[in-house]
A and B are shown apart, each in its own frame.
Chain A
Amino acid sequence: MATDNSATRWVGPLLAALLALCVGSCGFNESNVAAGNRDGVFHFGNGTEPQSIDPHVMSGSPEVNIARALFEGLVTRHPHTMEMVPGVAERWDISEDGKVYTFYLNPRARWSNRDPVTAEDFRWSLHRSLHPQLGNQLAYTLFGIVGAQDFATGRNTDPESVGIDVLDDLTLRIRLNNPDPYFLSTMGTYPTYPVHRATVEAHGQWTDRFAQWTRVGNFVGNGPFVLSEWKLNRRLVVTRSETYWDREKVTLNAVVFHPIESATAEEKMFRAGQLHFTQLVPLSKIPGYQAMDNSPYQQHRWQGTYFLQLNVRRDPLDDKRVRQALALATDRQKIVNTVLLKTEVPNSALVPVNTPGYQSPPAPDYDPQRARQLLAAAGYPGGEGWPGMEFVFNTSENHRKIAVVLQQMWQEALGISITLANQEWKVYLDTINEGDYTLSRMGWIASNLDPATYLNIFTSESGINRTGFSNARYDEIMLELAPAEADPEKRNALMREAEAILLEEVPLLPLYTYNSKHLVQPSVKGAPPNVLDVQNYKYISLDPAIPVWKGEG
């Protein structure tokens, strides 16, 4: 899971211009992509500078992109079929009742210092990932394991109480509270990645968030690549591991992660042949790319929802009718078709559209007439007496566009005015985590296809439910009934009921389901777009025979 932080920076155009200048004047130099195609070096645009490469500390996409190269979980997802395939575990058993998972580790699995990867490594790492003093924001994704929640919240300080058992060096058993059809995919996510105990302990406490073990020279990992260079705000380089068990399959010699925050700068670099793969594509450039023959532009439905968070504790949003009125006065289709240039899919529910096996309950259509009635019933007929409201969003071109459109849309439909305020990403996170807002935006990207990933956000026990929404029936379904339900049909029905409560109470106002958008050099093979937008560098290769794409004209 990762939060969406696509901050466009003021320096972007300037940087891009400087870069274009350099590319023009140093034209005799071979481009990154041409050299990379020949030498097997993959140049990857990675958004921002990673905060950490410790898999139990990270939570953002740029960090996770790097962790996938440096570590490997028990299982991993095949980027083409989206199936869970062997990682460190060569096979696994699931008990009849679906509550006990036994993983059999590959005896050839090695750390980058040639130590064998053992079941104890995983047990220790999972304890670390759950440890309350480490403060892993994603510890809750492991709460399906017996005793994990109590340990992670400090109710039980004994790690032995967690249902993770080492049967022998290469056999790990994990016990769950309830059968969970998505548990296997959880074991492929970064909060479950193993870290090397001796290395971590050599550089501090095991619960230190920012210790030196993640530095070049100290670092030990078990993934297909190892850390070889990390220049702050310039690049992070990983090179092919000599000890990785499946190293024959790895064809890339290195991956270079370029931290480029501005989509505009990234696109310019791509056109100059400096990147194989971009993290973002500037919205205004998309129609041009779509119209091209042999376009490097890749767009694919993504398991992510863009929504507004409504603080139900704040006036005037503490009145359900006001929240419903806002939802009814929001013309999603229009927003997507105009300012977003049809690059996203309108969604009036929380769970992304086309989630396999799940259908969100129907939400009321755009209906400004009904919205006006509701607002009048709430005491603001035609916007009279409206106390005003501030919409906070993190600084980004796209968020600003959406905010400006909503501001005017609600002004016209309801006669109410809202003010806009943008904040820098980290300030913004503080603001919403403290609940110090009336209306804000959020994007939520899932790392699996389980609808519960989304619905769990709004339980009253969730740390990321920043709206103050709390509903007894909703909690009952999402915390007790749905997790215990083994029949997928009945489980889905329960979740539909829960989602219907959300649509009725409107603590969130969904706008659209994301599409992932990348520019990819034609020489890149084995990186197909997929619904989770994950790439496994192990399967990626570069074809030196294919020339560098540098744009037309």
Chain B
Amino acid sequence: MTTEVITDITEAEQGSSLWHDAWLRLRKNKLALFGGITLILFVIIAILTPWIAPYSYETQNLDLGATPPSAAHWLGTDIFGRDLLTQIMYGGRISLAVGFVATSVALIIGISWGAVAGYVGGRVDAAMMRFVDILYALPFMIFIVLLMVVFGRNILLLFLAIGAVEWLTMARIMRSQVQQLRQQEFVEAAISLGLPPSTIIRRHLIPNALGPIIVYTTLTIPSVMLLEAFLSFLGLGIQPPQTSWGLLISYGAETMEEFPWLLIFPGLALTLTLFSLNFLGDGLRDALDVRRSKD
């Protein structure tokens, strides 16, 4: 009897790592799967755009002007007679890049900052979190504008600047998670086993805090994309003829009564991306929740 149980446990432990379990659970979640596939599709399209775009994104046909969707232009043309599908494809490159790069920057800074503060605690924690509070108090738009003015307009810098102001909330979430987890037995066990703090943070704390982080990440990406559109509109981000979804939407909104397709299609692209991110995020959170019983 006893031996049997032991064998069972060994089998179970061997057969499913955290990630394998998560994948099994995620596969059952249809919406999350749909989100993931859509995102991967969008990313592939964005990467291949220079080769597969039906038209050049800057060539204008002024005499054609804005036309509704047709066989030649599937999504219609803008007021300069440029193919909207091409615009959306090129805009997606910028928007997705901003979304992922800036969010990654925010994630890396936010998670490490929050985890260290939460794990070390005490005065270090107080100092680190007051620093976050101070940055919170700064009007972040002005901060970005200042960065762009001092260092000049540059897309890469734009990514970094946005990421550099978006990590604050992430740091707070991470800290509260870590503080909670620190009290738990398995962390105490790890400490008493003599594991170095960096290993504890990496192996035990971060994976256990993934749920809220993923949810927050899926919320950060859209807000970053919108921030980029706002900055570009102010003349601090992307300048014509380059474009992004946010810019296409803000231009489209101005003529939404006359040329609705100029708002609808870029809006659809952005909405679809955001939905996919949210579905995937939800699915991942459920899948990665280690506190759920392993079934």
Q: Give A residues with C-beta under 8 Å from B.
A: 8, 10, 12-13, 264, 282, 284-285, 287-288, 334-335, 338-339, 395, 397, 400-401, 403-405, 407-408, 411, 419-424
Tell me the bound Cα distance from A407 to B65 in angstroms.
17
A338-B62 CB under 8 A given contacts A403-B240, A404-B80, A407-B240:
yes
Q: Is B241 an interface residue (CB 8 A)?
A: yes
A423-B235 CB under 8 A given contacts A338-B62, A339-B80, A405-B62:
yes
Q: Is B253 an interface residue (CB 8 A)?
A: yes
Q: In the complex, what residue of chain B is closest to A9 when comparing beta carbons?
A: B233
| Additional A-B contact list (11), CB under 8 Å, known A395-B233, A411-B58 | A8-B254, A10-B230, A12-B254, A285-B257, A334-B62, A334-B63, A404-B60, A404-B241, A405-B62, A408-B241, A422-B239
B227 to chain A, nearest CB (A): 12
Are A288 and B258 closer than 8 Å at their CB atoms?
Answer: yes
Q: Is B259 an interface residue (CB 8 A)?
A: yes
B211 to chain A, nearest CB (A): 34
Are B254 and A282 closer than 8 Å at their CB atoms?
Answer: yes
Interface of chain B, main secondary structure: loop
Are A13 and B254 closer than 8 Å at their CB atoms?
Answer: yes
Complex interface: chain B residues within 8 A of A282 (CB): 254
Complex interface: chain A residues within 8 A of B255 (CB): 284
Q: Is B25 an interface residue (CB 8 A)?
A: no
Q: From the candidates A8, A264, A401, A422, name the one contacting B79 in the complex (CB within 8 A).
A: A401
Complex interface: chain A residues within 8 A of B258 (CB): 284-285, 287-288
B82 to chain A, nearest CB (A): 9
Q: Shortest 8 CB-CB distances between A and B: which pairs?
A: A422-B235, A338-B62, A284-B255, A13-B253, A284-B258, A420-B239, A404-B240, A408-B60
Per-residue 0/1 for B54-96: is the Cβ within 8 Å of any A Cβ (1 yes, 0 no)?
A: 0000111011010000000000000110000000000000000
Q: In the complex, what residue of chain B is closest to A411 when comparing beta carbons?
A: B58
Tell me the bound Cα distance from A180 to B235 in angstroms.
44
Tell me the bound Cα distance from A338 to B153 in angstroms.
31
A186 to chain B, nearest CB (A): 37
Are B230 and A421 closer than 8 Å at their CB atoms?
Answer: no
Tell me the bound Cα distance from A145 to B52 in angstroms.
68
Complex interface: chain B residues within 8 A of A400 (CB): 240
Q: Could you show 21 A-B contacts with beta carbons less than 8 Å apart?
A: A8-B254, A10-B230, A12-B254, A264-B254, A282-B254, A284-B255, A284-B258, A285-B258, A288-B258, A335-B62, A338-B63, A339-B62, A339-B80, A404-B60, A405-B60, A408-B80, A420-B239, A421-B153, A421-B235, A422-B234, A423-B235
Complex interface: chain B residues within 8 A of A264 (CB): 254
A166 to chain B, nearest CB (A): 51
Tell me the bound Cα distance from A528 to B63 in angstroms.
34
Complex interface: chain B residues within 8 A of A421 (CB): 153, 235, 239
Interface of chain A, main secondary structure: helix
Complex interface: chain A residues within 8 A of B223 (CB): none
B77 to chain A, nearest CB (A): 12
Interface residues on B, range: 20 to 34
Are A405 and B80 closer than 8 Å at their CB atoms?
Answer: yes
Complex interface: chain B residues within 8 A of A401 (CB): 79-80
Complex interface: chain B residues within 8 A of A8 (CB): 254
Q: Is B169 an interface residue (CB 8 A)?
A: no
Q: In the complex, what residue of chain A is closest to B250 when comparing beta carbons?
A: A10
Complex interface: chain A residues within 8 A of B153 (CB): 421
Q: In the complex, what residue of chain A is closest to B65 when comparing beta carbons?
A: A338
Complex interface: chain B residues within 8 A of A404 (CB): 60, 80, 240-241
Complex interface: chain B residues within 8 A of A403 (CB): 240
Tell me the bound Cα distance from A419 to B240 in angstroms.
8
Per-residue 0/1 for B253-290: is the Cβ within 8 Å of any A Cβ (1 yes, 0 no)?
A: 11111110000000000000000000000000000000
B154 to chain A, nearest CB (A): 12
List residues 112-163 of chain B with CB under 8 A from any CB of chain A: 153
Tell me the bound Cα distance from A287 to B153 in angstroms.
37
Are A284 and B239 closer than 8 Å at their CB atoms?
Answer: no
Q: In the complex, what residue of chain B is closest to A423 when comparing beta carbons?
A: B235
Tell me the bound Cα distance from A264 to B259 in angstroms.
15
Q: In the complex, what residue of chain B is closest to A419 when comparing beta carbons?
A: B239
Complex interface: chain A residues within 8 A of B233 (CB): 10, 395
Tell me the bound Cα distance from A423 to B234 in angstroms.
7
Tell me the bound Cα distance from A288 to B257 in angstroms.
10
Are B59 and A395 closer than 8 Å at their CB atoms?
Answer: no
Are B234 and A408 closer than 8 Å at their CB atoms?
Answer: no
Complex interface: chain B residues within 8 A of A397 (CB): 254
Complex interface: chain B residues within 8 A of A285 (CB): 257-258
List residues 206-242 of chain B with CB under 8 A from any CB of chain A: 230, 233-235, 239-241
Tell me the bound Cα distance from A481 to B58 in angstroms.
49
